[in-house]
Amino acid sequence: MKIRISDDALAIACGADTVAQAFMRAGAEVERVSSWGMHWLEPLVDVEGVGYAIVTADQVETILAGEAESIGPIAEHPFLTRQSRLTFARAGKTRSTSLDDYYSSDGWRGLATARTMGAEATIETVLASGLRGRGGAGFPAGIKWKTVASAQADTKYIVCNADEGDSATFADRMVMEGDPFMLIEGMAIAALAVGAQKGYVYIRSEYPHAIAKMETAIAASAHLVAPFVVEVRVGAGAYVCGEETSLLNSLEGKRGEVRAKPPLPALEGLFGKPTVVNNVLTLAAIPWILTHGGEAYAAYGMGRSKGTMPVQLAGNIKYGGLFEVGFGITLGELVNDIGGGTDSGRAVRCVQVGGPLGAYIPPSRFDLPFDYEAFAAADALIGHAGITVFDDTVDMAQMARFAMEFCAVESCGKCTPCRLGSTRGVETLDQIIAGKNVEANLALLADLSETMKFGSLCALGGFTPYPVMSAITHFPEDFR
């Protein structure tokens, strides 16, 4: 009887290591695998395909004796059967740093295809897939690659942005911890397509498990991606380093200050060389696209948002976790039908989509389809597709203040609207919360938000007005 338990950081934080040790002490054969992404069930124990949820060490004997209550076959769980798992096809099924498991689950097929078809056809395949940058900006990946490919230089780089700092996002972490070879394969394909020799994975220091898994996987697969070389670099707790030019400065060993664009990183990126900077999820989607073809990927999604998005359900939600689905699903389906509403059992007051720079959206707008253009039209953004659910106890004035405070703490200091605007924003919100000159201060805050939105160098200062103004627009009663 084989027992499978995840060794993903989230499972471990919920007690998976203790449970795994208890099974081993009881003489069971335990395999540590990636996480299925059904977080409310962790630690989830898989006994020959049958699941046992929220297991503690003292339940081991009853589970082994077949006397414990199961949740049934894991793969048939409705949370999973409603998904279209392309990037997360291996989630829950394979040992993350086992090359054998990766090979036997279609691993390295995308890279083999790219090597056979060559650089130009590889880029054409990515263009045909319609894949857009999954980090938040949504820029077509194929066009970025084409720009780097056509740049003339002795050295080119592939930089994987794994600085997943947005609250409510964990898909990058799950890829790195659960399927690191897929990310390496995606980077190797990108390197082949644009002619790069070296790749860096810039991982935030808050993800020690992801760092360890990536380093193990890079060492184990070095011979398979050679002459391309991949290296992990660790961030140092600066949120702004998720912005691509700030990340490049950080990789060069400098303060993580944002660079003005142009020049584009595609032409003058890391150490001034042409550089592909792609998010983890963008690069992780590449092996599937090369294996199955660009058209097969583009068959998922809606409008100009092609393919699937690993949506992350988080915050005060009953069934939180990783839900990969084609674009076009509505916010209401995600939050209520799939997520089951709040974990506290109270009413959903709002959700924040896209991390600390994303807008707060009330349930009256839950008909909004998950689509880059539809969100932009509603003054909101998909970002990295994290959804934080809040119940009716949330104080939106405090959340608006936090958005400004976070921007003040994390601002790189390069541009004035962000550096000073965020601090003035906190002060103005403090006045509003204290009930002083509320109307005049709200007008001032709206004006300040305009300045930050249009005058900031990057998305940190430029998008902080989204949570602030959406909170004021949709929940005015919390400010007066």
Partner 1 sequence: MSSLAGILAEHAGREGPLLPILHDVQKMFGHVSEDAMREIAQTLNLTRAEVYGVVSFYHDFRTEAEARPVLKLCRAEACKARGVEALVQVAEGQSRVKVEPIYCLGLCSVGPAALVGDTVHARLDSTRLTTLLASL
Q: Can you tell me the distance from the alpha carbon of 374 to that of 353, in angstroms, rounded to the nearest whole number?
A: 13
Beta strands in 95-165 (DSSP E): 157-162
Q: Is 336 in the site for partner 1 (CB under 8 A)?
A: no
Regarding 309 and contact with partner 1 (CB under 8 A), the answer is no
Asked if 390 interacts with partner 1 (CB under 8 A), we say yes
Does position 366 interact with partner 1 (CB under 8 A)? The reply is no
For residue 184, what are the contacts with CB-CB under 8 A and spacing of at least 6?
217, 218, 221, 225, 230
Q: How far is the CB of 368 from partner 1 (least distance, A)?
A: 19
316 binds partner 1 (CB under 8 A): yes
Applying CB under 8 A, does 352 fall inside the site for partner 1?
yes
Specify the DSSP class assigned to residue 76.
G
In which element (H, E) is residue 390 found? Answer: strand 386-391
Q: Which is nearer to partner 1, 123 or 251 (CB)?
A: 251
Q: Which is nearer to partner 1, 28 or 234 (CB)?
A: 234
Which CB atom, from 12 or from 189, has the smaller least distance to partner 1? 12
By CB under 8 A, tell whether 433 contacts partner 1: no
Largest CA distance in the chain: 70
Quote the least distance from Cβ 306 to partner 1, whole Å.
26
- Closer CB to partner 1, residue 101 or residue 177? 177
Q: Cα 163 to chain center, whole Å? A: 9
**What are phi and psi for residue 351, nearest 5 degrees?**
-130, 150
Query: Residue from 106, 333, 343, 373 that binds partner 1 (CB under 8 A)?
Result: 343
For residue 317, state whether it binds partner 1 (rule: CB under 8 A).
Answer: yes
Return the range that interacts with partner 1 (CB under 8 A); candidates 74-82, 141-149, 213-221, 387-395. Answer: 387-395
CB burial string 394-417: b at 16+ within 10 A, e below: bebbebbbbbbbbbbebbbebbeb
Where in 188-247 is the site for partner 1 (CB under 8 A)?
205-209, 233-239
Binding test (CB under 8 A) with partner 1, winner from 9, 80, 151, 334: 9
CA distances from 147 to 189, 261, 291, 369 (A): 16, 15, 23, 31
Tokens of 378: 């509603």
The answer to the question of residue 83 lying near partner 1 (CB under 8 A) is no
How many Å apart are CA 405 and CA 460, to the nearest integer? 12
Taking the C-alpha atoms of residue 136 and residue 369, their distance in angstroms, rounded to an integer, is 16
CB of 298 closer than 8 Å to CB of 326: no
Residue 104 binding partner 1, by CB under 8 A: no
Of residues 161-180, those binding partner 1 (CB under 8 A): 164-170, 172-173
Could you give the CA distance from residue 194 to residue 286 in angstroms, rounded to a whole number? Answer: 14
By CB under 8 A, is residue 279 in contact with partner 1? Answer: no
Stretch that binds partner 1, among 6-14, 116-124, 127-135, 143-151 (CB under 8 A): 6-14
Interface size with partner 1, residues (CB under 8 A): 61
Smallest distance, partner 1 to C-beta of residue 256, A:
6
Choosing from 4, 5, 7, 14, the residue that interacts with partner 1 (CB under 8 A) is: 14
204 near 162, Cβ under 8 Å? yes
Q: Which of 4, 32, 39, 134 binds partner 1 (CB under 8 A)?
A: 39
CB of 445 to partner 1, least distance (A): 20
We find the least distance from the C-beta atom of residue 348 to partner 1, in angstroms, to be 11
Q: Residue 148, class by beta-carbon neighbours within 10 Å (0-12 exposed, 13-18 middle, 19+ buried)?
A: buried
Nearer residue to partner 1 within complex by CB, 111 or 394: 394
CB of 254 to partner 1, least distance (A): 7
**Inter-residue contact 464 to 452 (CB < 8 Å):** yes
Give the angle 418-382-185 at the CA atoms, nearest 5°: 105
Return the number of the residue (60 or 211) whose C-beta is nearest partner 1.
211
The answer to whether residues 32 and 9 touch, using CB atoms and an 8 Å cutoff, is no
**359 is a site residue for partner 1 (CB under 8 A):** no
Name the burial class of residue 420, with classes exposed (0-12), middle (13-18) and buried (19+) by CB atoms within 10 angstroms of its CB: middle
| Token representation of residue 151 | 């740049």
Specify which residues 31 forms β-bridges with: 4
346 near partner 1 (CB under 8 A): no
Sole binder of partner 1 in the list 142, 256, 332, 461 (CB under 8 A): 256
| CA–CA gap between residue 319 and residue 321 (Å, rounded) | 7
404: tokens are 């400004």
**Should residue 12 be labelled a site residue for partner 1 when binding is judged by CB under 8 A?**
yes
Comparing CB distances to partner 1, the nearer of 17 and 333 is 17
Sites of contact with partner 1 (CB under 8 A): 9-10, 12-14, 39-40, 42, 164-170, 172-173, 205-209, 233-239, 250-257, 271, 312-317, 320-321, 343, 352, 355-356, 386, 388-391, 394, 399, 402, 406, 410, 412
